[in-house]
Amino acid sequence: MTGPAVLTRAASEAAWLERMRNHPMRGLMPFTVLMDMDGPTTHWYRYIVDETKRRNPGLHVHEPHEHTSWKMLSELPADEAAAMNEVMSSPGLYRTMTATPGAKEAIAGMLELGWLVRFCSTASLDNPTCASDKLVWLEEEYSRDLAKTAILTGDKTFALGHVIVDDKDKITGDNPNPVWLHTVFDAPYNQGAQGPRIAADWSNWYEVLGPLAEAATA
């Protein structure tokens, strides 16, 4: 018997495909993936937690899987939040991030298929070198071309693409009708987010994005 959850999922998938078929960029450019950095491509939460522990021995620091909010500092004790905030504000931090396991292989696969990948990330104004560090990191980990075409913005709703892969539970901004479809990068704090979902190890990236690409370009 087909249950309500299965029917709801099927209806959602049909709606996502229909959105790709009616996308305003259809036929104008290849399937374009906007790629968030902090989480999907850099192991941001793990790195911040480990660095906070290293700098503050003896301080209890919550593990990434224990966070239930994307705004993790808001749910932490004051001393832990202050220690993490100090780490996140450190010059040079974003240049030394580790890559999310599976991300580089997935992005290489997308590029091989002829898709456009545009990194789309927010640069923290509380970290004086965040923007430049992110561009340097992209050049060193990927290529100068991908670094040159990266989009650093505080409002992703104006970015142009077919999908955006992002771990935030809900992407907001001044544009109420962004053209992209939010494809959720799986994390403990976004389980209520709506949209296609990519596994945290990137293992299902083509299963999720392949049908959308076909619908957008057929």
Q: How confident is the model at residue 6 (pLDDT cuts 50, 70, 90)?
A: very low
HSE-CB for 95 with a 13 A CA cutoff: 11
Query: For 122-135, what is the mean pLDDT?
Result: 97
Q: Which residue has the tokens 């809900």?
A: 170
Task: Please give the share of the chain, as a percent, with pLDDT higher than 70.
Answer: 97
Query: For 1-7, what is the mean pLDDT?
Result: 47
Please state, rounded to an integer, the average pLDDT across all residues of the chain: 93
- CATH number for 4-43+99-217 (one of 3.40.50.1000, 1.10.4160.10, 3.30.465.10, 3.20.20.70): it is 3.40.50.1000
**pLDDT tens for each residue of 60-110:** 999 988 877 777 788 889 999 999 999 999 999 999 999 999 999 999 999
Domain boundaries, the chain: 4-43+99-217, 44-95
Query: For 134-159, what is the mean pLDDT?
Result: 98
- Residue 55 near residue 87 (C-beta atoms within 8 A): yes
**pLDDT tens for each residue of 15-40:** 999 999 999 988 889 999 999 999 99
Q: How confident is the model at residue 1 (pLDDT cuts 50, 70, 90)?
A: very low
- Residue 59 near residue 194 (C-beta atoms within 8 A): no
- Residue 3: pLDDT over 60: no
- Residue 136 near residue 95 (C-beta atoms within 8 A): yes
- Residue 7: pLDDT over 70: no
Q: Is 217 exposed, middle or buried (0-12, 13-18, 19+ CB in 10 A)?
A: middle
